[in-house]
Structure 1
């Protein structure tokens, strides 16, 4: 259970990636039904200002000893360096050894590698840093294509937006879909993306000056039980089908059909966790129509059957 989260900062910290973990874990969302999370900003020495990557000083309130009580230790992106503070690396190692989950955003994975925690483990980082990462940590099994990798006690993510995905994924894993959805809605971020989605896709800049597809995506999320064709969605977005398909791929990294299937599976996953509904009813509520179709797509995307997933992740009724 997530009760205390800490952000561990070093010189050269990137404010935006630090802001990601602050927004997900550091803002009080109890009015939206999210359980309270104690948030600690830590550095090697409490009260000592740290330089950021954009010329702003950030002063951690707590020192490394505060990590002793953290259920989650986050490592936001920071300037990549040859050597990292030994005391910081030891604190990361100790936190992991006592059972805390460690989550990195972007180049924060270099800290995790320097601490010796990625040998033989799957991980990722920003695609621009992968070659250097592999040279420095040859025993790590780095995947340059995915948004984030969940290894249980270690979660690594790619660039900034992927850090949001990884943080929300961890909230969903620990506190349930309702909490993750409440935070995402307040942050006004796109619906959850799966970790295996590619982090970079070679596409030309869309020839479209319209606003984001987010309003249309939100509408689809509220109407998952309906049939949605590319023609109908393009019409709702006031675009030609060709422009819509290119814009959709640019914003979501996948096709409309694939995205819709994933959202239906994610909704089914939430219902399996938080309700006692039967598989047939869940299939209808998610737009699959039949339990057989739900089982097919659920197993293909999640890797287990709906029944097995429920046995493992269902939250007990209040």
Structure 2
């Protein structure tokens, strides 16, 4: 495998991928490149600096694509003034023309798009970068509800820890399941997740001081597909219904029941923006008995129907879905 490390590349996706290869390449933890081989490349051949400042060295200039079974491009931080590595893009186009399989990891998929290689292809991207990608490349339809996509000669991966899953998938394909499991177990990962495994999706990121309320919120997040009663919720966290309701109102200003409903509706709003699931499927996934019930509650919460949101999803004037915070206070819950 050849790794193309772009400017300010993200370190975790790179490290998870290459460490999975390293552990499968040799017996024990000896790290010899016996069963797997890898090369770190940059356009200049100089060391590569990651987004956190750590540098990878030695790197070599871009090598003949035919030397590799896969070329893995690890993307970097995206911003309005992000420089384009024209030499790397030309290299990716050459590799594609020579039928070498390409892997776009994290924002590496942006480089594949800029190289003109994603037209008419499925494109896996992290939920975190979904909105930026659709804004910059409106002709591309990204997928943000799975970990990675194997589209034959072109693989794309959401990044983060999911690159270990993708690496294990490729190791199993070429070397067998035992070697893939060896790597994962040493990395303290129970088993590889499939590409269709859902990305963990943002629902609530808010600082809650009350430990009991935090526990209850964690349970609600784990059961977004069902309408958990307050009686069941209070029993699960080891308190009475009355006490839990009081603690929710003191901390968040709303009842547990209303918080749960708004949480599931916010999750539905996210799914409408970032997936291609139908309104009916989303309603069921958010724990509503039927589509009419989901749509009625959704319109009350957001002022628009799910169908209206879906029609405008991805447009510049569409209702924003903040990927960092779901504000939970009286006004947000009204």
Scaled by the length of structure 2, what TM-score is found? 0.56
User: Which residue of the other structure, out of 202, 215, 228, is the alignment partner of 1:207?
Assistant: 215
Tell me which residue corresponds to 2:43.
44
| Distance in 2, Cα, partners of 1:188 & 1:199 | 19
Between Structure 1 and Structure 2, how many residues are aligned? 207
Aligned residue in 1 for 2:151: 151
CA 1:178–1:139 in 2, change beyond 3 Å: closer, same or farther?
A: farther
Is the CA contact 1:17–1:77 (under 8 Å) kept in the aligned structure 2? Answer: no
Q: Which sits farther off after the overlay, 9-18 or 19-28?
A: 19-28
How far 1:242 sits from its partner (Å)?
4.9
Partner of residue 14, structure 2: 18
| SS class of match (2:215) | coil
Q: Tell me, yes or no, if the aligned pair for 1:21 and 1:76 is still in contact at 8 Å.
A: no
Contact 1:147–1:197 (CA<8 Å) still a contact in 2? yes
Is the counterpart of residue 55 in structure 1 residue 53 in structure 2? yes
The runs of 5 or more residues in structure 2 that have no matched partner are: 206-213, 217-234, 238-334
Q: Label 1:176 to 1:85 Cα distance change in 2 as closer, same or farther (>3 A).
A: same
Inter-partner Cα distance in structure 2 for 1:26 and 1:162: 17
Shift of 1:94: 1.3
Structure 2 match to 1:192: 192
Contact 2:21/2:183 (<8 A) preserved: no
**Pairwise CA RMSD of aligned residues?**
2.8
Where 2:103 maps in the other structure, the secondary structure is strand
C-alpha distance 36-119 of structure 1, shift in aligned 2 (>3 A):
same
Looking at structure 1, the residues matched to 84 and 23 of structure 2 have their Cα atoms a distance apart, in angstroms, of 29
* Equivalent runs, 1:1-318 vs 2, <5 Å: 5-27=1-23, 29-31=25-27, 36-46=35-45, 48-81=46-79, 82-201=82-201, 207=215, 242=236
Q: What is the deviation of 1:20?
A: 1.6
Question: Are the counterparts in 2 of residues 13 and 53 from structure 1 also a CA contact under 8 Å?
Answer: yes
Name the SS of the counterpart of 1:166 in structure 2. helix
d(CA) in 2 for partners of 1:25, 1:119: 30
Counterpart Cα distance in 2 of 1:202 and 1:131: 14
Of the two, which has the highest radius of gyration?
A: 2
2:104 counterpart SS class: strand
Q: CA deviation at 1:83?
A: 4.0
What per-residue deviation string (whole Å, max 9, x for no partner) do you get for residues 183-206 of structure 1? 212222131212122212356697
Q: Is the 8 A contact 1:44 1:63 kept in 2?
A: yes
Structure 1 counterpart of 2:324: none
Greater relative contact order, per chain length (Cα 8 Å cut-off, separation 6+): 2
2:127 and 2:144 in contact (8 A); partners too: yes
- Give the TM-score of the pair, scaled to structure 1: 0.58
* Secondary structure of 2:109 counterpart: helix
